[in-house]
Amino acid sequence: MSEQEQITLLERVVQALQGHGLTVRMRNEASGRGAEKRPGTWLGLGKDSDAVDYAAQVKGRLTPGTLGAVVAQLRHPVDAGGPAPLLLADYVSPPLASQLREYGQQFADSAGNAYLEGRGLLVFVSGRKLHPKQRALRASSGFSTTRLKVLFALICDPELAGAPYRKIAAAADVALGAMPAVVADLRQHGSLIVTDKQRRLDASKRVLDEWAQAYALGLRGKTLSERYRAEHFDSWRDWQPNPAHTRWGGEAAANLLLGGLLLNGLAPSVLTLYGDKLPARLTEKQGLEVASPAA
């Protein structure tokens, strides 16, 4: 698998694990010693603050013929003092899931199948199938979720473009091991320019417009925490959310910025609020009720 394919698969598996109600925390750690030292990703899985650490091992496609070799490889990690290896695969069939559990090899795939066993943690899910339309997690053509997050961090702080990979990865909240491939991708696309061995961001309108479109097509749907029905939808201008905690986005934000000129004066069809948590006062006052997920 290419580095970009590994990044994409890691993102898909993390999303599937979160679908089980698990808290997933990624940490960038170097594995090995001396010349063999290389960036790696550790995953902290569990409930709330109680997490079990794993060293993510992306192996892609798993078959009966390769299972034994893969397990043997995972039993001899580069860093023997690190956390237990967690096999990450695109899909693990029920027979392979049973074999891996018998071997004591923990795993997770992008369909939601998993075997996890640690301090206060026991998960075994088998038999889930990949959706027919499920494919590598892409925000849009040529835009992976990781690339979108890195580009957003650079747009917010252009001086970050010349910083070490570790600092950029921390700011964007992505795996350190993803950085070489993402930076190469951004350079090829023209979003990052290198002169005199110094990287700088091409913060042109083209880059901003492409990021905004890619975000709307892909990443936006993955950042939504909840959907609501609003009893007082038409009076949204009077909601007055506290900007220190909640901000308007999407059509509502554009409507406010453009003075009602959005879509020839038409009101927003969807209201988007960004924040860590929707204020209880706003929920009660505006009669917000949780709606079923959109198809």
Same domain flag for 201 and 250:
no
Within-domain flag for 214: yes
Same domain flag for 230 and 217:
no
pLDDT value, residue 138:
37
- Measured CA to CA, the distance from residue 190 to residue 204 in angstroms comes to 10
Comparing CA positions, the residue from 142, 132, 227, 39 lying closest to residue 26 is 39
End of a domain among 191, 222, 253?
A: 222
The SS3 of residue 25 is strand
Determine if the pTM surpasses 0.95.
no
**What domain range is 71 assigned to?**
3-125
Instruction: Give the orientation angle of helix 179-189 with respect to helix 165-172, to 10 degrees.
Output: 90
Is 137:118 a contact under the CB 8 Å cutoff?
no
Same domain flag for 218 and 265:
no
pLDDT value, residue 193:
92
Same domain flag for 274 and 262:
yes
Same domain flag for 105 and 58:
yes
Is 40:56 a contact under the CB 8 Å cutoff?
yes
pLDDT value, residue 45:
92
Give the other-Cβ count within 10 Å of 21's Cβ. Answer: 8
pLDDT value, residue 26:
84
Within-domain flag for 130: no
Same domain flag for 68 and 153:
no
Same domain flag for 233 and 285:
yes
End of a domain among 202, 222, 242?
A: 222
Within-domain flag for 47: yes
- Measured CA to CA, the distance from residue 189 to residue 266 in angstroms comes to 36
- Measured CA to CA, the distance from residue 113 to residue 97 in angstroms comes to 8
End of a domain among 222, 252, 271?
A: 222
- CATH (domain of 64): 3.40.1350
As for how many domains the chain has, the answer is 3
- Measured CA to CA, the distance from residue 120 to residue 69 in angstroms comes to 29
Is 214:140 a contact under the CB 8 Å cutoff?
yes
- CATH (domain of 215): 1.10.10.10
Same domain flag for 99 and 116:
yes
Go through 240-253 and write b for each residue having 16 or more CB atoms within 10 A of its CB, e for each that does not: ebeeeebebebbbb
The SS3 of residue 11 is helix
Q: Mind giving me the DSSP string for 210-246?
A: HHHHHIIIIIHHHH----EEETTGGGGGG----TTTE
Residues of the chain with pLDDT under 70: 1-4, 29-39, 48-49, 65, 69, 76-81, 132-143, 209, 213-214, 216-218, 221, 258-267, 292-295
Q: Residue 87's Cα: distance from chain center in Å? A: 18
Q: Residue 26's Cα: distance from chain center in Å? A: 10
